[in-house]
Chains A and B, each alone.
Chain A
């Protein structure tokens, strides 16, 4: 208690202005709810408030945690959309979802605040537990992540077009080649995948795997 609190970084003009704008959006939301504006109308101050809150928070968060901040705001957006959608239902249907939605919004706000390098952030982190393991955050390259997502998306697209039996071996082979494996190893991987899928599902389980949209189109022709 007697320890002197570490000095906080100075607030930037952007943070101050956006914080004031955020407060204004909160008042606007309260007023619009009071006068009984529709839920779509209420979304205007909510969206405005989220945008200015993001701008206000950015300088308060260390550079290595910026992506975590964007992710936290993404999650908050999901919660807000969920609450908005829930108000579209009536009666008892929305009771429990609303409890969950509002709880989610409160926790998301705590999550966002916990990322800040100010006293409020460290207090929340210490009180509730929200410590970010920075070594886990640093070892990942966004480009590599996007390539992997694209590969997974491409895989699903390929499976949709060509079916499991045709595309699975191709996917495995191409991935192994791209990962620096020899052609022989990649070929082995292809054959293994083909036989595994064919014997396990088509022969052992007597299950017809998806043949692919192209095959279905060809049959239609």
Chain B
């Protein structure tokens, strides 16, 4: 235990050296600003921001790239709270719970207080999430060593199933996109057999479908197509006439209601660690828990209760630390954002999974420190620049779409200097848009694309070790537990329907 603690302290010390350079700090602040901007503008979000940032990290030191991306990841949820409070338009889906009490507060002329509370609880929630991550990493290190190829294969399947189920009412479609993601991952040179598959003689596919152009198309450009097709400005609101004052009062309110903040953060960290469940569930669960806990509130919830801002915002930011636990330890991303981040890590030679925890502790703790500092920086920026940030959300789709598209296409090209990547980005943009249009979740596609190679390798190794026998998947406690978890996860929609029907029947009888 003491040894693990020592190791953590040493790793944190080594990682903190990266932050002594002004250039690295500038990367972190730039990432934070980009994250805040993309978080505040509804319809963009963290995955889009990361997809656009990845090409910029090419050629950077690993630690600098991690700081830039970590800054962006930590700041998006904080940015989303500004538009939720001022415009009643959540920057990202998890910020929707903040609108319930944040916007009524703004209407009462207490926008500053709401923003202060939102920003402070975001920062503290984020810090609690990151602190939990630091505590869990030594334990995760020990756990991942128990995992061999069959367990890793089953874990990838479990991660995909959990994420597919978490997409709500679209389990079938989520599984379909996962299958398509795997199909795309099979394209190109197969490292197991040494042959080239599914390329149809197209040279640029020999190395497989490149992850970054695919992610840029899937998240950045497809989102722009969607904005243009829907038309109009991104946030349709003229509610920006509110005064922003009393920010310090909001910050103080978080410390006065520290139990709300701690409960929210605990919920966020726990939910974040479950693959695919994500920030939206964390924020809403935290909000509803707070409403239930607070039986007789002074101000009713939904009418401008400050605790209704603190609870979801702390949970929303705490989930970032939590979602990195499965991402870093097992290579199973907890959300679309972490899936894109995983892709970026692979690009920088950091393959997620057991080896990452064992051999790249420096990079992991750099990420942790980036998240920590970015939480605080993002909060400070929001406290000072809330109003200009809110104005940015009123930007017209016809201004934003061509600019983001061009930056995205330049980014897709710049990574390898091949124009074919621009075409790949365009193809995936159209595929991504069709997925949005027909409600096929993109997250399972991304995860399957990222994990395709690792999953196939694990499967191949398992079959090799067991001499082709499938019995290996039901041998040993970890494998059986994972199989049980997969079955349980896939039964969730049926169980949900059964519960709903039972409730309706009871209601009918009553």
Contact = CB atoms under 8 A, between A and B. Distances in A.
A172 B405 CA distance: 9
Interface stretch (B35-43, B174-182, B243-251, B274-282): B174-182
A207 B414 contact: yes
Contact of B426 (A156, A180, A210): A156
A96 B231 CA distance: 43
B176 A92 contact: no
B172 A129 contact: yes
Query: How extensive is the interface on chain A, given as a class?
Result: 35 or more
B439 interface: yes
Given A129-B493, A133-B439, A140-B437, A79 B179 contact: yes
A158 B493 CA distance: 47
A132 B167 CA distance: 12
B170 interface: yes
B179 A107 contact: yes
Interface stretch (A12-20, A23-31, A193-201): A193-201
B434 interface: yes
B42 to A, nearest CB: 15
A133 B167 CA distance: 13
Given A96-B459, A149-B225, A159 B176 contact: no
Contacts of A149: 225, 430
Contacts of A44: none
A139 B410 contact: no
A129 B168 contact: yes
B183 interface: yes
Contact of A172 (B170, B403, B438, B493): B403
Given A93-B197, A127-B497, A111 B176 contact: yes
Given A78-B180, A160-B419, A85 B198 contact: yes
Interface string B91-102: 000000000000
B429 interface: yes
B308 to A, nearest CB: 26
A168 B171 CA distance: 40
Contact of B402 (A78, A189, A207): A189
B114 to A, nearest CB: 29
B406 A193 contact: yes
B22 interface: no
Interface residues of B, number: 63
Given A100-B179, A107-B172, A130-B172, A176 B423 contact: no
A160 B56 CA distance: 21
B460 A130 contact: no
Interface in B388-412: 396-399, 401-403, 405-407, 409-410
A127 B494 contact: yes
A155 B494 contact: no
B510 to A, nearest CB: 16
A13 B168 CA distance: 36
Interface string A75-116: 100110010010001011101110011011001101100100
Contacts of A160: 419, 422
B403 A193 contact: yes
Interface in B429-454: 429-430, 433-434, 437-439
Contacts of A201: 410, 414
Interface string A149-168: 10011011001100010001
Nearest to A180: B398
A104 B448 CA distance: 13
Question: Chain B interface mostly helix, strand, loop or mixed?
Answer: helix
B193 interface: yes
A36 B231 CA distance: 55
A152 B410 CA distance: 13
B173 interface: yes
B497 A126 contact: yes
Contact of B413 (A125, A193, A205, A209): A209
B230 A140 contact: yes
B197 A132 contact: no
A68 to B, nearest CB: 5
A114 B172 contact: yes
B73 interface: no
A96 B183 contact: no
A144 B497 CA distance: 37
A136 interface: yes
B351 interface: no
A130 B396 CA distance: 33
B176 A75 contact: yes
A128 B190 CA distance: 34
A148 B414 contact: no
A75 B455 CA distance: 23
Contact of A89 (B197, B423, B456): B197
24 contacts: A68-B438, A82-B198, A92-B460, A93-B190, A95-B463, A97-B197, A103-B179, A129-B168, A129-B172, A129-B496, A130-B172, A132-B439, A133-B439, A136-B437, A136-B439, A137-B438, A145-B229, A152-B221, A164-B413, A168-B406, A171-B406, A179-B399, A205-B56, A207-B414
- In the complex, the 5 A-B pairs of residues with the closest C-beta atoms, listed nearest first: A179-B398, A131-B169, A104-B179, A129-B493, A175-B402
Given A85-B198, A107-B179, 14 more contacts: A91-B193, A97-B186, A103-B179, A108-B176, A137-B438, A144-B231, A156-B423, A164-B410, A164-B413, A193-B403, A193-B406, A201-B414, A205-B56, A210-B413
Interface of B: 56, 59, 165, 168-173, 175-176, 179-180, 182-183, 186, 190, 192-193, 195, 197-198, 221, 225, 228-231, 396-399, 401-403, 405-407, 409-410, 413-414, 417, 419, 422-423, 426, 429-430, 433-434, 437-439, 455-456, 459-460, 463, 493-494, 496-497
